[in-house]
Each structure stands twice: as C-alpha cells, then as structure tokens.
Structure 1
Amino acid sequence: MRTSLFVGLAAAGFLASTAGAQAQDATGIAAGDWLVRLRGIVVAPNESSGGILPAIPTGKVGVGDAVMPEVDFTYMATDNIGAELIVSSTRHDIQGREAISGLGKVGHTWVLPPTLTLQYHFMPKTAVRPYIGAGINYTTFYSAKTSDSLNKALGKTSLSLKDSVGYALQAGIDIDLNKKFFLNLDVKYIDMRTTARLDTNGTINQTKVDINPLVFGFGIGTRF
C-alpha cells in the first residue's frame, strides 16, 4: 500500500506541477503570510514492540494504518522560513502478534499528535515551492479499549498508553493553482513511542511499543 501511495503522490505531483507552472497570477509567498492547508493523510506506522511482561513475554502487538483529514497552519516569519502547526486525530487498531496472534485485533486507540515544525521554503516567489522542516511532536493516546477476544482470553482488561514526545521530520511541496489557492504534497516522519499498560482485575502487564509513523498527505491550501 505504501509503494502504491508513493507512486500516486509522485504522479499527482507531476500533474499538479504542470498545472502550477501554467497558473496565472501566481504570486508565491512572503513574510507575514498565513498558509492554511486541508489534507487527506495516511498514517503508516513503522511499528515494533517488546514482549507483554511479565505474563506473556513472547506476545507482541502491532499498530495498524489510519486514514483521516488533517488541518495545518503555517506562519511565514520570513520569505523562506515558516512555522507549521499540524492538527489531526487518528484511530488505530492494535493487533496481536507472535504468541497472541491468534487473538487478531486486541484493541484500539485514538491518537492526538500535535506537531510543530520549523520549515525552510526554497523558492518562495515561484509557483512550485518545495520545503523541508523539522520540529517536535507531542502525542497523547485516548479512548483506548481492549477487544472482546482479549477480554475472553485474559478476563476483563483495561488499556492505557503513555504519552510520547519526539522529533518530527518533514518534506513537501506547494503548487500554485492561482494567486489564492495551491495544491500540497507532504511527507512526515514522527518519532513516536509508548508503553501500553494492561490492567486485568488489578494484575498489570505492559509492553513498550515503537510506532514511528510515516504520514503521507495530499490536499489543498490557501494563503492570506
């Protein structure tokens, strides 16, 4: 799926850049501008976990992909440098692996990962504007629940996940459609890890999970 997404984004980028290069009244961006983008995103975790300790050391978990809309806001401090705040929330299924793979889905959680990046825009006065960015992410996990299959295997069990703080890397491109609107392609890598805690009638088991998602986005933006 990720390979197909890369191919799709590349094709969309080529077609959009052709259109952008022909756009009339394209003015680029400047210091003091606000950019607002609405993207559709695919969050694709590069996940791994340790054992579920102490009870199931050979049991592991995996985190599924998610598709969701995202809104971001960028303020251009100079013609080239901007600060972007990303706002979205995604729901991810949690799958059993190795010793507990037979349980299938063992739970789910909602993820809220506000991310602030500092961007460098290479060609702010052109119709096609690539940029890179780096920054910080804070992720909180909420509304986490275990599945019926896990509850049948262990007994009634609650799930909680520890918040995460990590870095974020970003690359993208804005492509003018006219002087007001532009297309956007964006890819982020987010350093994200947590500890999942299972409470079964006061008996605690936990596992460390590296999530580290790639976030692929395609959407439209405006500037004012």
Structure 2
Amino acid sequence: MKKQILTLVITAALSVGAVNANEAGDWVIRAGATNVDPDNGNSGVFVDALGGDTPLSLSVEDDTQLGLNFAYFFSSNWAVELLAATPFNHDVIINDSTGIAPGIFGVPVDGATLAEVQHLPPTLSVLYYFTTNGSFQPYLGLGLNYTTFFEEKFKSDPDALGFNDLELDDSWGYSAQVGLDFYFTDNWLVNASARYIDIESDASFKIGEIPGSSSVEIDPMVYSLMLGYKF
C-alpha cells in the first residue's frame, strides 16, 4: 500500500495545469489511516560496563493509527497544515548479527522484541499547492516536527534479565512531504500523502544497575490515506 500511495502522489503531482480551485480562507479537515514506517537502519547500543560499544543494535517496527490534519489556506496556492494522530505504538527489536550477545546475557537475543514505546509526532507544515484545472490538487510541503515519547517499557523477558528504566528523549526535526487532494465533489476529497520526518532520540536504560544508552535514529516515512472536507 505504501508504494501505491507514493506512486499515486508523485504521478499526480507532475500533472500541473492552469487553474486552482482553492481560495484564501478555505479550511480543509482530513481523517484516515496514517502509517509511520521507521528507517530500517539499526542504532548501536552502548553499555559502560562492557567497554562502551556492544555487538547489539536496535531497530523500530512500523505502526498504523488514525491520522488527523487541518489545513488553512491564506492564498490560493499557500496553506498551513497541522498533522495530528492517535498515539503510535512501536516494538523495539534488538539485533545481534555477530552471535556474541548470548555469551553476555545467556540467551539468544537476535530479532527479539526488547521493548515497546508510544509516541505522538505533531507536525506543522507550510504547503504549496500547484495551480491545476481539474479535481487533482497536488502540493509540496516543508515543516517542523515535535515528537514526544511515553509509556516506554521493556517486555517481560528482557525485564526478567534485568533491563529497566527505559527512557527516550523528545525530538525536534524537520519534515518534507508530497501530497494530493482529489475532489470528487465541490467539498469532499480523498487525500494521499507521503512525508519524511527527521526524528532522533537518545535512549537510556539500565541492566540491573549498569547504565546503557543508544542514539536511536527513527527517521520515518509517514504515509497517509484520508477522507477530507473543505469549507
């Protein structure tokens, strides 16, 4: 679905015409599915008592929630948009490509679900709508994201091994997006968008009383498919 949404948005965004149906003072409210798909790169794990670097790394799974956004047009081509959503819940996977970790913890850990975290990523963006002469209204956007993490907790097995006190710092970063509104009536529309969000967080935890940390680069692609209404 992610590739189909991205292909639809990019293809339509290249179809630029001559007339824009948007007007200054218009509001658009949208709601629908939003998927946060973190970067597949792994973040290193550091434990002071083990000399700092370890063979372990962390990766974050994707999640889909109800997305909401609100756009206000201050001219026919320019709008400001706020992205909101219900809390995203992500599994944090621990990776060990070397196979050394069982000698440290006594059990295999590669691919195990280490923890889960929730976050909210409100994003405020400025959008530029291309002038078109039809129902398709493609746009580009740049914005600022604030991501707050909460409900960080280790799963039962890692908890039994002594993992505790997991915390992730909140994050500020930029976002960039491409999107499309398709009007099937004068006021109702379907929206598809794909955006990149710069999200990085410093994670801290303990193994027993031994401190550990990781610099987690989430940097997700965020895909949305929504129903909207303009008034």
Q: Answer yes or no: is 1:160 the counterpart of 2:167.
A: yes
Tell me the SS of whatever aligns to 2:157. Answer: helix
The residue number in structure 2 matching 1:37 is 30
Matches within 5 A, 1:195-210: 195-210=202-217
Which amino acid is the alignment partner of residue 61 of structure 1? L
- Choose which of 181, 185, 189 in structure 1 pairs with 2:192: 185
C-alpha distance in 1, partners of 2:175/2:221?
10
Unaligned runs of 5+ in 1: 15-26
How many residues align structurally? 209
C-alpha distance in 2, partners of 1:77/1:103?
49
**Alpha carbons of structure 1 residues 12 and 116: separation in structure 2 relative to 1, 3 Å:** closer
The residue number in structure 1 matching 2:72 is 75
Q: Answer yes or no: is 1:145 the counterpart of 2:153.
A: yes
The residue number in structure 1 matching 2:135 is 127
Shift of 1:152: 2.1
Greater Cα shift, 38-47 or 113-122 = 38-47
Which amino acid is the alignment partner of residue 163 of structure 1? D
Shift of 1:9: 5.8
Shift of 1:151: 1.5
Shift of 1:60: 1.0
Q: Is the 8 A contact 1:74 1:84 kept in 2?
A: yes
Percent of matched pairs sharing the same residue: 28
Q: Answer yes or no: is 1:219 the counterpart of 2:229.
A: no
Q: Is the 8 A contact 2:56 2:95 kept in 1?
A: yes
Which amino acid is the alignment partner of residue 140 of structure 1? T
The residue number in structure 1 matching 2:104 is none
Unaligned runs of 5+ in 2: 12-19, 102-107
Once the two structures are superposed, residues 80-124 of structure 1 have per-residue CA deviations (whole angstroms, 9 ceiling, x without a partner) of 000100011210000111147347111000011110110000026
Q: Is the 8 A contact 2:118 2:152 kept in 1?
A: yes
Q: Answer yes or no: is 1:50 the counterpart of 2:44.
A: yes
Q: Answer yes or no: is 1:91 the counterpart of 2:89.
A: yes
The residue number in structure 2 matching 1:116 is 124
Shift of 1:49: 0.4
Greater Cα shift, 99-108 or 214-223 = 99-108
Which amino acid is the alignment partner of residue 148 of structure 1? S
Q: Answer yes or no: is 1:104 the counterpart of 2:112.
A: yes
**Alpha carbons of structure 1 residues 103 and 13: separation in structure 2 relative to 1, 3 Å:** closer
TM-score (norm 2): 0.83
Shift of 1:202: 3.9
Please tell me the root mean square deviation across aligned C-alpha atoms, in Å: 2.3
